Amino acid sequence: MNFGMKRQVAVAHALGDETRWRIAALMAQEALCVCELVDILDLAQSTVSSHLQVMRKAEMVTMEKADKWVYYQLSREVLPVWKAMRGLDDEKVDRVLERDAKRAVARLALRGQSECKGPRKSIPPVHKVAKRACVGC
């Protein structure tokens, strides 16, 4: 794929949102399904899906289907761009990303126990939110 100006602008736009920045940080490390992202970020499934749609349109992510689940990861082409931009983070963002990374470790530890069947409430929420269901999982 060509990484021309239009794609560069699309990637920059996608990374200009804090939630998509957090998603990119997680997907730079590991392929994740929507259910895992929902649990790690403590967001509604529809919110995560909307952000992933923006990232897909910017051709930032690769997708791998495994049974009925789709795993997303930052594309190899976008990874160096994200890493370069990552160096511009401030301390506040770093704390958020550190918290996300800790939650990701806890959530991914559940992967070996069974296949992803939707959001799990085994990791402590960052704040109280309404009960959600993972519609697409």
Q: Give domain status of residue 79, yes or no.
A: yes
Q: Give domain status of residue 47, yes or no.
A: yes
Least-confidence region, from 26-40, 75-89, 90-104, 114-128:
114-128
Q: Give domain status of residue 120, yes or no.
A: no
CA–CA separation, 101 and 95 (whole Å) = 10
Please give the model's pTM, rounded to 2 decimal places.
Answer: 0.77
Q: Give domain status of residue 129, yes or no.
A: no
Mean pLDDT of the chain: 80
Q: Give domain status of residue 137, yes or no.
A: no
Q: Which domain holds residue 27?
A: 5-108
CA–CA separation, 48 and 59 (whole Å) = 16
Q: Degrees (nearest 5) of the Cα angle 45, 49, 54?
A: 155
CATH label of the domain that carries residue 100: 1.10.10.10
Q: Give domain status of residue 116, yes or no.
A: no
List CB contacts of 123: < 8 A, sequence separation 6 or more. 39, 40, 103, 106, 107
**By C-alpha distance, which of 29, 30, 74 is closest to 52?**
74
Q: Give domain status of residue 131, yes or no.
A: no
Q: Give domain status of residue 127, yes or no.
A: no
**How many domains does the chain contain in total?**
1
pLDDT tens-digit readout, 94-124: 788 899 999 999 998 888 665 665 444 444 4
